[in-house]
Structure 1
Amino acid sequence: MLVAIDHVQLAAPPGSEDALRAYYGNVLGLTEVPKPPVLAARGGCWFRAGAVRLHLGIEGDFRPARKAHPGLRVTDIEAYAARLAERGAPVTWDDNLPGHLRFYSVDPVGNRLEFLEAVKPSGPGA
């Protein structure tokens, strides 16, 4: 039986590891996790924040997906969006998901990322 998602893997072009480390580490605030030696030989890099694990794998004929993306839950989404914008990452807000605040960004190689936070209900009966 399925119990959880272990990780999400995104693709990246050869030689992009330094840009990925700068973005996922310095901009998003994830921690790089060492890859096992046999996998490290393939390039790419792995990142973690709490239970969230993102793997960036190298793909020779890389093309970023236009629609596919991970949806990452965050806390204090406005401050997190400001952090990304201050570090030069694009932030595009989208208000089409009821009960959530969310925005999209892209990493340095064009992978789309969604960031969202549930909004606490307000008003009578909330």
Structure 2
Amino acid sequence: MIAAVDHVQLAAPPGSEPELRAYYTGVLGMTELRKPPVLAARGGCWFAAGGAVLHLGIEEDFRPARKAHPGLRVTGIHAYAKRLQGQGAAVVWDYDLPGFERFYSQDPVGNRLEFLEPAPMKSA
């Protein structure tokens, strides 16, 4: 039986690790995880925050996916969006998912990221 999602892997171009570290730790506020030595030799980096774990793997002929993306739950979504914008990241709001507030952004290599938070319940 599947119990949980362990991690989501995104691709990145060779040599992009410094940019990825700056973005995922500095802008998103995630923590870098130490990769096992045998995997660290392949390049890339891993990050975690709350229950979310993202692996960024190096792909020689990298092209960011246009639709595929992780959906990351956040708290205080409007403040979080301002944090990203303050760091120069684009934020595109999308109001089409009932019950949620959400926006999309991109990491420095063009990977699409979705950030969402359940919408506050409205009183009747």
1:83-98 alignment, distance < 5 Å: 83-98=83-98
- The CA deviation at 1:123 is 2.0
How much identity, in percent, do the aligned residues show?
72
Give the whole-Å Cα distance in 1 for the aligned partners of 2:96 and 2:122.
18
- The CA deviation at 1:60 is 0.4
Q: Deviations over 1:32-57 (max 9, x none)?
A: 01100000000000001121100000
Give the whole-Å Cα distance in 2 for the aligned partners of 1:15 and 1:76.
33
Match in the other structure for 2:67: 67
- TM-score relative to the length of structure 2: 0.98
1:29-48 alignment, distance < 5 Å: 29-48=29-48
Give the whole-Å Cα distance in 1 for the aligned partners of 2:80 and 2:51.
18
Kindly indicate whether residue 11 of structure 2 is the aligned counterpart of residue 11 of structure 1. yes
CA RMSD, 1 decimal: 0.6
Match in the other structure for 1:52: 52
Secondary structure class of the residue paired with 2:35:
coil
Give unmatched runs, 5+ long, in structure 1: none
Match in the other structure for 2:117: 117
Q: Deviations over 1:20-40 (max 9, x none)?
A: 001101000000011000000
Kindly indicate whether residue 99 of structure 2 is the aligned counterpart of residue 99 of structure 1. yes
Give the whole-Å Cα distance in 1 for the aligned partners of 2:85 and 2:75.
16
Give unmatched runs, 5+ long, in structure 2: none
